[in-house]
A and B are shown apart, each in its own frame.
Chain A
């Protein structure tokens, strides 16, 4: 099973050093969205700082697979 890391680069910076085994990229997308939802429910203010919340999902080789962003637009 591929291993994915979920780093947050804005809002609340954190490098994920453990990562997670997930069946495929679709599962990684769902996990990233859930993780973001969980972070935001703890601290909605997170979106107001910098450029909002950004979760960068990286594979084992270190390449970025995709990012999930939550921003406030006006």
Chain B
């Protein structure tokens, strides 16, 4: 692995050093990326009751039909949402990164409509939904931040729908890698141009709606173009501008500059 590639395990360490507000500071940081929160709001989020849970890759935290009572917050590692068709075909419908709350929708909807699983080994903070609900009723800025978080996830879903429905296989893969690049850099404390993508070819196939053989072929093609590297079978983004050009990537749908600066 080239020395300038950031291994996934290091992200958590960056955050640990600045955890004045405890484990949930990573969630606060995520919410602050799109919403304004006062110091009191931030302290109230940090004080939410929670239990820490470790899960292995593939570990399940929510199943379709569940009536959730806790909202897991991803402290480290990656997670995904999936839906499964009656013939067993699986579609990965969302990727979640450290700092993401995994089930804010259960604040308002009775039953889970999809599964949530871990892509990598992960550490979670399990926060009672009732405690979050209470916080949102007493603190309007927190309620607004929760709403914005849900809206941005919907925006990403719309972009994925376009990606899977209308982009060719090469652009589809390149677009996903661009999105991951931007989202990972938003949570990393030091900018890293290159990083490992924690998805297998089968998982990429289930996410992009392609066959694994087709995914492998597109990976090879991006590799030949110098856009990605493959140290020890994992996949590394090497040249973001190249990927952005192939997929005509614009990060507008990520709403990264959502806070209006007066």
Contacts of A39 in B (CB 8 A): 214
What separation, in Å, do the CA atoms of A31 and B205 have in the docked complex? 13
In the complex, the answer to whether A16 meets B168 with C-beta atoms within 8 Å is: no
Counted as pairs of residues, one from A and one from B, with CB atoms less than 8 Å apart, the total is 30
Give the A interface residue count (CB, 8 A).
14
Q: Which residue of B lies closest to A37 (CB)?
A: B211
Q: Which residue of A lies closest to B210 (CB)?
A: A38
B212 CB to closest chain A CB (Å) equals 6
A19 CB to closest chain B CB (Å) equals 8
Q: Assess whether B256 is interfacial by the CB under 8 Å rule.
A: no
Q: Is the interface of B mostly helix, strand, loop or mixed?
A: helix
Contact with B along A1-31 (1 / 0, CB 8 A): 0000010000000101111100000000001
Contacts of B210 in A (CB 8 A): 38
Contact with A along B202-225 (1 / 0, CB 8 A): 000000001111101100100000
Residue from A17, A34, A43 within 8 A of B211 (CB atoms):
A34
In the complex, the answer to whether A14 meets B169 with C-beta atoms within 8 Å is: no
Contacts of B217 in A (CB 8 A): 14, 16
What separation, in Å, do the CA atoms of A38 and B211 have in the docked complex? 8
- 29 A–B contacts from the bound complex (CB under 8 Å): A6-B213, A14-B217, A14-B220, A16-B213, A16-B216, A16-B217, A17-B216, A17-B220, A18-B201, A18-B212, A18-B213, A18-B216, A19-B213, A20-B212, A20-B213, A31-B211, A31-B213, A34-B211, A35-B211, A35-B213, A35-B214, A38-B169, A38-B210, A38-B211, A38-B214, A39-B214, A42-B168, A42-B169, A42-B170
Other than the given A20-B212, A35-B214, 14 more pairs (CB < 8 A) read A14-B217, A16-B217, A17-B216, A18-B201, A18-B212, A18-B213, A20-B213, A34-B211, A35-B211, A38-B211, A39-B214, A42-B168, A42-B170, A43-B168
